[in-house]
Amino acid sequence: MQFKLLLAVAAAIAAVVTASAQVGPACESSCGNVSITFPFGTSEGCYYNSDFLITCNLSSGEPIPYLGDGNIVITNMSTTKGVLEILTFVGRDCYNSTGRVTRNGPYLKLRDVRISPKNKFVAIGCDTYAYFDGRRGNESDGTGCISKCGRNSLLTNGSCTGVGCCEVAVPEGLKTFEMTIRSLNNRTNITDFSPCSFAFFVEEGKFNFSTTNLTDFQSVSKMPMLLDWSIGNLTCDEAKKTDNFLCTGFSECDQDYGGPGYRCQCREGYDGNPYLANDCQNINECVQEIHECKPNTQCVDTPGNYTCKCPDGYSGDGRKNGPGCTADESTIIKIVAGISTSAIFLLIFVAWLYLVLKKRKFILLREKFFKQNGGIMLQQRISGDGGSHDQAKVFTVEELKRATNNYDESRIIGKGGYGTVYKGVLADSRIVAIKKSKLADQTQAQIEQFINEVVILSQINHRNVVKLIGCCLETEIPLLVYEFIPNGTLSDHIHNKGKSSAIAWDIRLRIATETAEALSYLHSAASVPIIHRDVKPMNILLDDNYVAKVADFGASKLIPIDQIELATIVQGTLGYLDPEYLQTNQLTDKSDVYSFGVVLVELLTGKKALSFDRPEEERNLAIYFLYSLKEGRLLRVLDERLQLNDVPSEIIQVSRLAERCLRVKAEERPTMKEVAIELQGILPSMIQKHPWVKSSSNEDDGEYLLKEPINDYECTNDGIVSNSSSSTFDSISKHTMLPIASGR
């Protein structure tokens, strides 16, 4: 049997008190800790109508305010927000081993007071279906929710999403509701659940579910809830035509309230009870210090506002957020006359002193920055190398500022690990690229890095190496001036879908050949062998004709002629690092060969050297390419944008060459000179191939690279593992995924 608990006053027809009702000496202004203001009141003549009657119950010893003559306990009320804070009963449905022992579903009926949509309807339990039916006007409305707990449910504190606790929003404008709580399974085995289910309305934010609520909530009988109220059912415009309209004097209708009924509020600059005639009184902002007058002005109160009086000789509004006070013309003349004479003498002195100090400071700064940026070190290195064939020009700071429009951001054409590159136009109309190195703490390593790049580039004269035009050491941040390469990096063209289709296989092969020729020159034709140490598509620039230019020598090393290897800290880019160099720290020219092999694979596949977006076995491109090559899957890994139906012999030969470059042991790799010569022989434009290049047009090579996969390899959780013990792929897969100590 369902029990209903009366929570609120019945909607009995009550006499309406006219708008002339005033708070008299007999009207109570509070009950307990709750202030009572009109339109609410405790006795006839003190409230607007019976829906606003407050009963102050003294039976418990402490005064408790109730709405009407029912038992809705009021905890707070607001005439400015139009809300009542009340305590509402908690509905419950309890069982023991014999069945249901308690069920009550509270209901509520209101008139000019409505259930606020700022409440939530909440149900607690592990076998609970709770809902409510309500009415607003002649329309019925309602909703509910289900709360369950499985035997292995993980209840979470603060979570009210259906496991142990559920909640739903409350429709707006409800004046009545009837709550029902049911068991979903008739509590067939109450030992698995809490003995009771609970449901209640509660102000949003005033209830936070705890897993202990399932067993200890029986002691809670009431929860905080909000009721909205307004005056009558007429709109503000309709109510103005009646005799009992309450928004009078300096009170006006709240235009933000959309009904039903209307609400009052005091006009801006006034405070009080907007429902009482003439109770909205002017606020003295000056006395209460809530004004925006500036400190040197005088606050003057006005009805509903205030003004800020400026000092004598000044005029304006005097407010902090306004123009403030400005001096009158006569005052300005006096001030200017007094200041101008002193200012003229001071200006002459400062100008003279400035010119003297500026010249001296400029000279000192130039000397300071020249030393700071390694000018002396650069002179020593150049003289130690016997001088360069092509002397780089030393630019002044003013020349490079003009060339870059004072380093405007629109001139930035690239950013890297070692600095920012700007596009510049010199006085002779040459377009150049100006590199401004990063400078954090001006460490010795950074200075050496900069000087290293200047020395190396000043010794290089090759059509496929970006040319150094000059440098500037007069600024805090050192600058390098290169020839401008307009077509971006190789990385942009092979990894950007919009650009990759423009470079067909013959262009890619030519780029690879030109890059190899440049590296071969660095290794064997330069006056001092140079190891680039960071060969990758990002450091290969392309001009308008797709001619390759090797760039970025910030990580490069000069190798003494009597040495074949050099011990260094590992430096490079993940995915391109020589695994032998990574393990031994011994840098050789074969380290560049390995990196170039990865570049060849990128040109063939169109994929990045390392990508964690790909499946685990495909993340390291070099390993995956070697595996695919051995399994005869070359066609599957080639770049789809090459639009190949079969594999040309040139691609087979380049793939073979890439495989040799990627061998783990450096001694098994070809030199860059051998790589360059072999690529020159592969170029389709060559009429006759060099005798040292193997012909791959025979059927054996084609079948080997394109055959169906064999079972020499298997996939495991750790990657691809070979059943053979002597393959290049086995060796490289054990080394190339080691962590990098330093990268760019």
DSSP string over 375-395: HHHHHHHHHHTT--SSPPEE-
Residue 21 confidence (pLDDT) above 50: no
Task: Determine the pLDDT at residue 706.
Answer: 47
Task: Determine the pLDDT at residue 177.
Answer: 83
pLDDT one-digit tens code per residue, 97-108:
777 777 776 766
- The pairs formed by 240-247 with CB atoms below 8 angstroms and a separation of 24 or more are 243/18, 243/19, 244/16, 244/18, 244/19, 244/20, 245/19, 246/19, 246/39, 246/48, 246/274, 246/275, 247/274, 247/275
Q: Place 464 in a pLDDT band, splitting at 50, 70 and 90.
A: very high
Task: Determine the pLDDT at residue 656.
Answer: 94
Please enumerate in sequence order all residues whose Cβ is within 8 A of that of 425, keeping only pairs 6 or more positions apart, or say none.
403, 431, 432
- Architecture of the domain delimited by 490-733: Orthogonal Bundle (1.10)
Q: Is 352 exposed, middle or buried (0-12, 13-18, 19+ CB in 10 A)?
A: exposed
C-alpha 628/C-alpha 601 separation (Å) is 12
Residue 283 confidence (pLDDT) above 50: yes
Residue 148 confidence (pLDDT) above 50: yes
C-alpha 46/C-alpha 115 separation (Å) is 24
Would you put residue 643 in left (φ > 0), alpha (ψ -120 to 50) or beta?
left
Q: Place 599 in a pLDDT band, splitting at 50, 70 and 90.
A: very high
C-alpha 62/C-alpha 41 separation (Å) is 18
Query: What is the SS3 assignment for 15-39?
Result: CCCCCCCCCCCCCCCEECCEECCCC
Token pair of 585 as six digits: 């720290």
Region 42-58 average pLDDT: 87
Residue 685 confidence (pLDDT) above 80: no
C-alpha 593/C-alpha 531 separation (Å) is 10
Task: Say if residues 661 and 596 touch (Cβ distance below 8 Å).
Answer: yes
> Which uninterrupted H or E stretch holds 201?
strand 196-203
Task: Say if residues 519 and 672 touch (Cβ distance below 8 Å).
Answer: yes
Q: How far is CA 354 from CA 349, 357, 409, 433, in A?
A: 8, 5, 31, 35
Weakest mean pLDDT among 51-60, 135-144, 550-559: 550-559
Q: Place 698 in a pLDDT band, splitting at 50, 70 and 90.
A: very low
**What is the percent of the chain with per-residue pLDDT over 70, rounded to a whole number?**
80
Task: Determine the pLDDT at residue 735.
Answer: 39
Cα angle for residues 128, 129, 133 (degrees, 5° grid): 145
Q: Place 675 in a pLDDT band, splitting at 50, 70 and 90.
A: very high
Q: What are residue 281's DSSP bridge partners? A: 271
3-state secondary structure of 468: strand
Task: Say if residues 520 and 676 touch (Cβ distance below 8 Å).
Answer: yes
Q: With CA atoms as reference, report the closest residue to 439 among 382, 364, 366, 372.
A: 372
Most confident of 10-24, 338-352, 666-680, 709-723: 666-680
Query: What is the SS3 assignment for 139-192?
Result: EEEEEEEEEECCCCCCCCCCCCCCECEEEEECCCCCCEEEEEEEECCCCCCHHH
Cα angle for residues 166, 168, 172 (degrees, 5° grid): 160
- For the residues of 302-351, what is the DSSP string, one character each? ETTEEEEEPPTTEEE--BTTS--EEE-HHHHHHHHHHHHHHHHHHHHHHH
pLDDT one-digit tens code per residue, 647-673:
888 899 999 999 999 999 999 999 999
Task: Determine the pLDDT at residue 673.
Answer: 94
In 230-329, the DSSP E strands lie at: 251-253, 264-266, 270-271, 281-282, 298-302, 305-309, 314-316, 325-327
Region 244-249 average pLDDT: 90
Token pair of 82 as six digits: 């139009």
Q: With CA atoms as reference, report the closest residue to 102 among 112, 113, 91.
A: 91
Residue 146 confidence (pLDDT) above 90: yes
Comparison of pLDDT for 504 and 569, the residue scoring more: 504
C-alpha 689/C-alpha 691 separation (Å) is 6
Q: Place 189 in a pLDDT band, splitting at 50, 70 and 90.
A: low
Task: Determine the pLDDT at residue 289.
Answer: 87
Task: Determine the pLDDT at residue 687.
Answer: 34
Q: What is the mean pLDDT of the chain?
A: 79
Backbone angles phi, psi at 468, to 5 degrees: -85, 120
Comparison of pLDDT for 724 and 250, the residue scoring more: 250
Q: Place 111 in a pLDDT band, splitting at 50, 70 and 90.
A: low
Task: Determine the pLDDT at residue 694.
Answer: 41
C-alpha 616/C-alpha 728 separation (Å) is 20
Residue 591 confidence (pLDDT) above 50: yes
Angle, in degrees to the nearest 10, between helices 375-384 and 444-458: 40
Residue 249 confidence (pLDDT) above 70: yes
Task: Determine the pLDDT at residue 691.
Answer: 40
Q: Place 468 in a pLDDT band, splitting at 50, 70 and 90.
A: confident
Task: Say if residues 553 and 497 touch (Cβ distance below 8 Å).
Answer: no
Q: Place 233 in a pLDDT band, splitting at 50, 70 and 90.
A: confident
C-alpha 637/C-alpha 643 separation (Å) is 12
CA max distance for the chain: 120
Q: Place 126 in a pLDDT band, splitting at 50, 70 and 90.
A: confident
Task: Determine the pLDDT at residue 385.
Answer: 58
C-alpha 487/C-alpha 6 separation (Å) is 82
3-state secondary structure of 618: helix
C-alpha 118/C-alpha 575 separation (Å) is 57
Residue 417 confidence (pLDDT) above 80: no
Torsion sign (Cα): 377, 380, 381, 387: positive
Comparison of pLDDT for 484 and 17, the residue scoring more: 484
Q: Catalytic site residues?
A: 534
Weakest mean pLDDT among 9-18, 177-186, 374-383: 9-18
Weakest mean pLDDT among 152-166, 326-340, 717-731: 717-731
Residue 511 confidence (pLDDT) above 90: yes
C-alpha 426/C-alpha 557 separation (Å) is 30
Please enumerate in sequence order all residues whose Cβ is within 8 A of that of 99, keeping only pairs 6 or more positions apart, or say none.
187
In 431-542, the DSSP E strands lie at: 431-437, 468-472, 479-483, 530-531, 540-542
C-alpha 678/C-alpha 670 separation (Å) is 10
Task: Determine the pLDDT at residue 221.
Answer: 87
Weakest mean pLDDT among 284-293, 530-539, 569-578: 569-578
Weakest mean pLDDT among 71-85, 435-449, 666-680: 435-449
Q: Report domain extents, the chain.
A: 30-81, 84-229, 233-278, 373-483, 490-733
C-alpha 690/C-alpha 681 separation (Å) is 5
C-alpha 600/C-alpha 632 separation (Å) is 18
Task: Determine the pLDDT at residue 604.
Answer: 92
Please enumerate in sequence order all residues whose Cβ is within 8 A of that of 358, keeping only pairs 6 or more positions apart, or say none.
none
Place domain 373-483 in its CATH homologous superfamily.
Phosphorylase Kinase; domain 1 (3.30.200.20)
Task: Determine the pLDDT at residue 653.
Answer: 92
Task: Say if residues 531 and 523 touch (Cβ distance below 8 Å).
Answer: yes
C-alpha 569/C-alpha 580 separation (Å) is 13
Q: Place 384 in a pLDDT band, splitting at 50, 70 and 90.
A: low
Please enumerate in sequence order all residues whose Cβ is within 8 A of that of 682, keeping only pairs 6 or more positions apart, or say none.
509, 513, 650, 653, 654, 657, 689, 693
Task: Say if residues 51 and 114 touch (Cβ distance below 8 Å).
Answer: no
Q: With CA atoms as reference, report the closest residue to 525 among 465, 572, 578, 597.
A: 465
Q: Place 391 in a pLDDT band, splitting at 50, 70 and 90.
A: low
